[in-house]
A and B are shown apart, each in its own frame.
Chain A
Amino acid sequence: MEGLIYCSQTLAKNPYYIQNISMNIYSIEELCYYLCNNLYLIDQNIKSEMLCQWIENEIGMKKLAAKLRQLVFGYGTDSMFVGYILRSIQYCEEEKIKEIEEILEQLNNKSEHEKRKIRADRLFQNGKYIKALIEYRKILDEPKERNTPKELYGKIYHNIGTVYGKMFLYQEAMESFKKANEVLNDEESNYAMNWCLYYLEMQGNTVIEEEDESKNDKIKQLIRQKRQELMMELRSTQEYLQLENLKSLKTQGRVNQYQEAVINILEQWKNEYRKNTD
């Protein structure tokens, strides 16, 4: 559909807040964009009277709001709800809308725990670590579903381990990977568990001396190798160069610039942290 898309509706004065992505939206196009790009985050909360009111009062699309209300109170599916919104401005081609509706229908056919795991996975992929963790924990706290393969729960443990790893909580990460390995008995969880072990040993200031290498611990060797590779990759990243620059400002005695750069980097990290733990 190459070309210019006409925006026939006004921008909202008061935005609609989408909790899943912690963002305000101001237009019907932004709503459609959110829906198309966050399919696995869509849950029954999308079908709300508040969204219908916002569409009616802030965007001025009265007919659409009326139709969506029927679905909210008539217990229409998520797929129908999303389909109506996308078709109201024909945000994408009809084939794409049908594809989205199918995915949502399929999700609808999955077990509750499967759906919620997918949602949690998307939250994690969008950097929402705390939200993802909460979601995973909730699933594990509930009795296992009879028709859901136990591997699902093993994967959930594994993913919890990954989330903890992202938050530098290696002890908790290691324990999760261990549980995952008990269920799944696979190389990936085993590897991840050992990785955490390695980091914990490093934090405990235990140096892996040369004679330790001769112990023939295949996995630890792999980890050390991988770590070296990653360190080399890291040195060419923007973030590393930023820190190198900081070091050089300090060495050169450029106090003001150094302090300003420190403040900027800290602010960046804080914002990222806030986003991840929102």
Chain B
Amino acid sequence: MHSSREENQLYIGYDLNDSYVQISYLDLRIKEPKSLSTVIGGEQLLIPSVLCKRKGIGQWYHGEEAKRVAKSGEGILVERLVDLCRQTKTIEIDGETFETIKLLSLFVKKTLKLLNTVGKISQIQKFVFTVEELDDKTFQIMEELQENIQISKECFHIQDYKESFYYYTYSQSTQIWNNDVELFDMQDKKLVSYSMRRNNRTIPQVVTVEENVFGELTALDLGEESLSEEEINEKKGKIFERIINTVFQKRVISSVYLIGDQFEQPWAQNSLRLLCKGRRVFQGQNLYTKGACYAAYFLTQKVSWNKVYLGKNKVRSNIGMMVNNKGNWEYLSLISAGIDWYEAFGSCFIILDEISEVEIQIHPIQSTEKDTKIFELDGLPKRPNKTTRLKIEVSFKEWNVLSVIIKDMGFGDFYPSSNRVWSFTETL
């Protein structure tokens, strides 16, 4: 089915969480992503996101070993490495100052050594890192991380948990995602739900994920009420059932994913029975890392599937132009909806024929209406018809702010370029 060249290719998904990280890989011979264990032949999939510096010398440990060394009193533990980078640029440890991004990079580098058990670096086509929330600050941190761990920009991609959930789900069989799909995550003590909806009336089908946070269960744990464990469990169970009923109201849900071992506790058992009615329910901890793996494959292979995920940072419109290509009028796509705005870029060369403006079409993917923007080229040098070649570059400055740059290229030796550049910004 796959050529021998494809079989050697690896795709890596990396769940970067401040409690644990998980790494998985996709080898096309196996077809499904496999999570890496820190113990060969074992099932130690979670690597604590900690570093430990041995006191007095420049020796560092990571993961479980770091916890052991710190516990023994011989080292200083450094935890929650991503959050640390968000809070401060430097930190003092054992009398020395360290850049927090360098600590995070060191940790990630050490964990990536696990990949040596799977294959060579040259086989890896793409790394997709997935984080809980991808805001500007985290994005900057990840960009610096990419440079520090020396992965090329083309091989590196970041996405949030919601997007990893999207890739994971739609890589499963149709019965799983025929209707809406729900995810409950209790890894970080608070309960988060991701409600995934698919609009099958659009082409491509637009998928959205709505996030909700429920603090009631955690509040109960921290409550000052003097309740017995049994009473707390009963209350938790009831609260969870209420949450399920609220979230599921008026929706048809094919499958439910439960992330975190909290759902194995006694309080959740009744709720699980409720969830299982007419649905498939899955429990586990490595959905995001595997989702990131699937993403790595789809982004590299550019496999077309008929869905597009519209997350926070995604471009929501198709951007293109009508052009005459060898006598036929065609639609030229410059940017497709569904990609992250900061990665969105398209360019082309055109020649003006009896006009002095450029028309760009904007098709919002969730609407049938089309918007046309006309960019006038004032100060265009006077030349005979069909002797002005322009370079058109489109990109985004924000998820909804389109940038159009048009450059006069002249026409070879016949008409040298005027070097004129027109810049436009359009809020969509």
A positions within 8 Å CB-CB of B: 1-8, 15, 23-27, 29-30, 33, 37, 88-91, 94
Contact of A6 with B324 at beta-carbon distance under 8 Å, contacts A25-B412, A25-B413, A30-B411 already known: yes
With contacts A7-B348, A23-B413 taken as known, whether A1 is within 8 angstroms of B326 at the C-beta atoms is: no
A4-B321 in contact given A24-B413, A27-B412 (Cβ < 8 Å): yes
Q: Are B387 and A6 in contact (CB under 8 A)?
A: no
Q: For the complex, is B330 an interface residue (Cβ under 8 Å from A)?
A: yes
B220 within 8 A of A: no
B413 and A1 contact, CB distance less than 8 A:
no
A-B pairs with lowest CB-CB distance, top 3: A90-B327, A6-B323, A7-B349
Closest chain B residue to A90, Cβ basis: B327
In whole angstroms, how far apart are the Cα atoms of A23 and B413 in the complex? 6
Complex partner residue of A1 from B321, B348, B353, CB under 8 angstroms: B353
User: Is there an interface contact between A4 and B411, defined as CB atoms closer than 8 Å?
Assistant: no
User: Which residue in A6, A23, A25, A90 is a CB contact (below 8 Å) of B330?
Assistant: A6
The contact string, 1 if C-beta is below 8 Å from chain A, for chain B 382-423, is: 001011010000000000000000000001111000000000
B residues in contact with A3, CB < 8 Å: 322-324, 329, 353-355
Range of interface residues on B (Cβ < 8 Å): 20 to 34
Residues of A within 8 A of B327 (CB): 90, 94
| Given A29-B351, A90-B327, residue A7 in contact with residue B386 (CB < 8 A) | no
Contacting residue for B350 out of A5, A15, A27, A30, CB 8 A: A5
Query: Are A8 and B412 in touch, CB under 8 angstroms?
Result: no
With beta carbons under 8 angstroms apart, the residue of A2, A4, A24, A89 that contacts B326 is A89
Per-residue contact bits, chain B 339-364, to A (CB 8 Å; 1 contact, 0 not): 00000000011111111001100000
| Contact partners of B330 in chain A: CB under 8 A | 6
Q: Is the interface of B mostly helix, strand, loop or mixed?
A: strand
30 A-B pairs in the complex with CB atoms less than 8 angstroms apart: A1-B353, A2-B353, A2-B355, A3-B323, A3-B324, A3-B353, A4-B321, A4-B353, A4-B358, A4-B359, A5-B324, A5-B352, A5-B353, A5-B386, A6-B323, A7-B349, A8-B325, A15-B412, A23-B413, A25-B412, A25-B413, A26-B412, A27-B389, A27-B412, A29-B351, A30-B412, A33-B387, A33-B414, A37-B384, A90-B328
Q: Which of B323, B327, B328, B359 has the most CB of A within 10 A?
A: B327
- Residue B275 CB within 8 A of the other chain: no
Known: A29-B351, A29-B389, A33-B387. A5 touches B323 (CB 8 A): yes
Would you call B332 an interface residue if the criterion is a C-beta within 8 Å of the partner chain's C-beta atoms? yes
Chain B residues in 8 Å Cβ range of A23 = 412-414
Answer whether A6 and B355 are a contact pair too, CB < 8 Å, given A24-B413, A90-B326.
no
Question: Other CB < 8 Å A-B pairs besides A4-B351, A29-B389, A89-B326, 8 of them?
Answer: A1-B354, A4-B322, A5-B353, A7-B349, A15-B413, A30-B413, A33-B387, A90-B327
By beta carbon, the residue of chain A nearest B348 is A6
Residues of B contacting A37 with CB < 8 Å? 384
Residues on A with C-beta less than 8 A from B332 are: 6
